[in-house]
Amino acid sequence: MQRLNSASGDFAARFRALVEAGRGEGGDVSAAVRTIIEDVRQRGDAAIAELTARFDGFDPAGELRIPTGRIDAALKRVDKDLLAAMELAASRIRAFHEVQRPADHQQVDETGTRTGWRYSPIAAAGLYVPGGRAALFSSVLMNAIPAKVAGVEQLVMVTPTPGGEPNDEVLAAAKLAGVDTIYRIGGAQAVAALAFGTESVPAVDFIAGPGNAFVAEAKRQLYGRIGIDMVAGPSEILIVADSGADPAVLAADLLSQAEHDPTSQSILITDSPSLAQAVLAALPAAFDAISTAETARASWDANGAVIEIADLSEAPALIDALAPEHLLLAVRDPDAVFARVRHAGSVFLGYDTPEAIGDYLAGPNHVLPTGRRARFSSGLGTANFMKRTTFLGCGPEGFQALGPPAARLAEAEGLPAHALSITRRLDRGA
């Protein structure tokens, strides 16, 4: 953890170092991933079976797909109150993403020329869900529901199941979200299977969902052949707080990010030196209260920061430089600060809005740009699972008005067949 003060002479340099510090997991896995992808492309299910035996410790033996009965049974086994919370989440996420569905458009200009666009859903999408320690059923909801709201007909989920046994909550979430089929495979091999298709696994057009370094690199290498949601990195929260915030609450907020992974980052910016001190004083009790303290402490020690500023008006520039995935504005007038912020994945407004509510069930998506990518990219939304087809229709009058200047431009670009396609229509009196 480091402390910065915007009044210090070395602030600019230290802040820039903080902004530019990489928190990557290190290790170039690109060659290993390339080998796995090529193997799956050439040998299909046989390669999948071998890689699953090697990495997940079981032989899928032709049963790559999780049967419907197993999914229904999982849904029945999930605690009733947990299921109710999952259903509330699903319903709110669905409602929010329905509002996000992009609109079609058509316009006709003074020459009678029609232009516009039409959105249509991707036909088949894949969803990667990490397995292992954490059962991230919320990730299933956040990825699958937008796909289904968009109108994706074939939504194929893959998830590694160490030992072969899938997680009940993950299966239940998939069922609630409308996932069509689930395969118990993971890693770069699962991504490759979705991109190329195998005897058992259908090929899809688009792959979403988080994963480890192998999964992320596989998506990157296959981008172009298929669409992907984003290149994701370690997660982060930036909290801007004033003296009205509760230090014990902020300590929990900081650790709620830190507990994800040692590479996560939590930063507090405040104009109140006493609040900064109180939050630091509250951290030991917060660590003591959580079973994930080891991970949270590793993250906080390596990547945490507390930045004191003289006035809240300094905050927006610092926020934009960090372009955080999550921004919590625990201040009296959060909208005033938000109005001056430009680069952030998702913003949590006010003392009563912990990120966790947004992570699970408020409605907006929790799949967000990390590692300063909020400068140029957005969180996952309904439109990621759709594509836009533009169109143009010239009538005779529009053609007469637009054809000659278009032909002039084509000639100047040295593309005579382009010009010919226009002049021949002019010749025949179009």
What does the per-residue mask of binding to its own copies show for 159-188, with x meaning CB under 8 A? ----------x-------------------
Among 322, 334, 337, 382, binds its own copies (CB under 8 A): 334
Buried b / exposed e across 350-376, counting CB within 10 Å, b at 16+? ebebebeebbbbbbbbbbbbbbbbbee
Q: Are 194 and 48 in contact (CB under 8 A)?
A: no
Whether the Cβ atoms of residue 374 and residue 344 lie closer than 8 Å to each other:
yes
Q: Which is nearer to its own copies, 61 or 95 (CB)?
A: 95
DSSP-H helix ranges across 44-184? 45-56, 68-77, 80-99, 137-150, 168-177
The catalytically annotated residue of 326, 343, 355, 366 is 326
Q: 225-244 mask for its own copies (x: CB under 8 A)?
A: -xx---x-------------
Q: Which residue has the tokens 């990490």?
A: 130
Judged by CB under 8 A, the number of residues near its own copies is 124
Q: Does 257 belong to an annotated binding site? A: yes
Rounded distance between C-alpha atoms, residue 350 and residue 236, angstroms: 18
User: Residues 7, 19, 134, 310: which binds its own copies (CB under 8 A)?
Assistant: 134
Q: Is 260 in the site for its own copies (CB under 8 A)?
A: yes
Q: Which is nearer to its own copies, 210 or 358 (CB)?
A: 358
Degrees, nearest 5: CA angle 230-347-92: 80
C-alpha pair distances (Å), 291 with each of 259, 286, 300, 303, 409: 9, 10, 15, 20, 67
97 is in an annotated binding site: no
Residue 350 in the binding site for its own copies (CB under 8 A)? yes
Is residue 1 a contact point for its own copies (CB under 8 A)?
no
- Told to judge if 97 belongs to the known catalytic residues of this protein, a careful annotator would answer no
User: Is there binding between residue 408 and its own copies (CB under 8 A)?
Assistant: yes
Torsion of CA 210, 214, 216, 221, to 10 degrees: -150
- Identify which range of 2-10, 12-20, 301-309, 366-374 contacts its own copies by CB under 8 A: 366-374
> How far is 57 from 51, CA to CA, in rounded Å?
9
The answer to whether 236 is a known catalytic residue is no
Give me the count of residues in the chain.
430
* 198 forms part of the interface with its own copies (CB under 8 A): no
Work out whether 223 is an interface residue with its own copies (CB under 8 A): yes
**Interacting residues with its own copies between 88 and 117 (CB under 8 A):** 88-89, 96, 99-100, 102, 105, 107, 113-115, 117
Residues forming the active site = 325-326
